[in-house]
Amino acid sequence: MRPDWDSYFLKIAYAVSERSTCDRAFVGCVMVLEKRILTTGFNGSPAGQPHCDEIGHLMVDGHCVRTIHAETNAIIQAALHGVSTKGSTCYVTHFPCINCTKVLINAGIVRLVYSTAYRKDENAVNFLKVANIEFYQKELTTDDAGAVHPPYPHGTGLVVMPNIENGEE
Ligand SMILES: [Zn+2]
Ligand SMILES: [Zn+2]
């Protein structure tokens, strides 16, 4: 079946997430304007630095702080190449953290489509509402996900991520 545009770009976000180097979360982000991809990003270390999958995580207060998050990386890539993200839609595999949410707001996005509500932050939700950014969850089916996102040996990925929003662990 031919996917709708939101499914199409979310699937690409999952393909991007496969490049992530921190297995605590394989996150992928694609920013789109008028059905064209402006920039992409995944969770990874700063350029030229060792990755979590090489030397382990850098844990602070229960979070791995080695990586730059996918959404922030996507915006950095846009900045590096002189591409404006104003008015774009952000497609992301996981609901953004509070910091990425603030970055996305200031990057001028008007819409956010996410696939899993993993660690959905109520403060981030409120920031999006105040900023008038339309956001919604589009869950891909297992078949959709399987087509673009091969199962990882450590069990992350679309199907098995806990969905905090729905109270599932
Ligand atoms: Zn890590
Ligand atoms: Zn983030």
Could you give the C-alpha distances from 120 to 6, 30, 84, 117, 162, in angstroms and in order?
20, 19, 27, 5, 11
Please count the helices (runs of H) and the strands (runs of E) in the chain: 6, 7
Confidence band for 141, pLDDT divided at 50, 70 and 90: low
Report CA(58)–ligand 1 centroid distance (Å): 6
3-state secondary structure 56-100: CCCEECCEECCCECHHHHHHHHHHHCCCCCCCCEEEEEECCCHHH
Q: How does pLDDT run across 74-106, given as a tens digit for each residue?
A: 999 999 999 999 999 999 999 999 999 999 999
Give the total residue count for the chain: 169
Residue with tokens 């339309």: 134
At residue 117, φ and ψ (nearest 5 deg) are -90, 25
Top pLDDT among 158 and 19 is at 19
116: β partners: 94
In the chain, how long is the greatest CA-to-CA distance?
A: 44
From the CA of 69, the nearest ligand is: 2
Contact, 93 vs 26, CB < 8 A?
A: yes
Contact, 38 vs 75, CB < 8 A?
A: no
Nearby residues of 123 by Cβ (< 8 Å), 6 or more positions away: 98
As a whole number, the mean pLDDT across the chain is 85
Report CA(146)–ligand 2 centroid distance (Å): 24
From the CA of 67, the nearest ligand is: 1
Report CA(39)–ligand 1 centroid distance (Å): 23
From the CA of 99, the nearest ligand is: 2
Q: How does pLDDT run across 50-71, given as a tens digit for each residue?
A: 999 999 999 999 889 999 999 9
Active site residues: 71
